[in-house]
Structures are given as C-alpha cells and as structure tokens.
Amino acid sequence: MMEKSREERPVVRRAVYVGAALLAGILVVALIWGEDLRFMHSSGSMEAVARSLGEGVELRDQRIGSLWFEFVYREGEVVYFSRGTGWGGDGYGYVWSPVGRPGDVGHVKGPWYEFRSDAHQ
C-alpha cells in the first residue's frame, strides 16, 4: 500500500472537513423542512383535537399525526400544542386560533401560528 505524501495530507484533511460541514448543513436543512412537512401532514388531525378539546383539559405526551407533543391545552378559543424545549432552552410549538393572532406568535397558515418562547410551558 502506498503512503500519501506530506503535501497530500492537508488536502485530504481539508476535504474531510468540508464534507463534514456540508453534511451537517444538509442535516439542519432536512430537520427544518422535515418539521414543516410533518406539521403540514399533521395539521388536520391537530385541528380535530383542537376543536374537541374542552376547557381545562390538558393532554400530555401525545402523538398527533406525525408530531409528538409534550402537552396540549386550551385557553378560551386558543389551543396550544407544545412540542417541548428547543436548542436554546425555549419552548416551541403551535397555536390554533380561529379568532385571530394570539399575541407574540408567527403566522404559519390559516388559523395556525407557531411560538418560540417559555411563555407556553
């Protein structure tokens, strides 16, 4: 077996680092898109739960569609679907609000919003 020359080693090492960085970037993008796709697949089932969930009822550790939720609960006309805690330590999840935008949330589609804070844990 032929040993690589000293000049070739840094090139190979650099190629390995670039490949690893590229793979990590692809995985991050796949995770983000994967969450969006799972939400789109699950939103119908989530809405059915939101419409039937009574005031004061809290669901824990529930799989709804393709998503897993730590808890789901209703506050008036608004239902929170908490996915858990993200990398930054903040809670995140979805909000179903057929009556309009509930506070500091980002709009997803229709009556759906997403939150990223510890306010809904």
Report pLDDT digits (tens) over 60-102.
999 999 899 999 999 999 999 999 876 666 789 999 999 999 9
In the chain, domain spans: 8-120
Of residues 61, 101, 60, 95, the one with CA closest to residue 80: 95
* pLDDT category of residue 29 using cuts at 50, 70 and 90: low
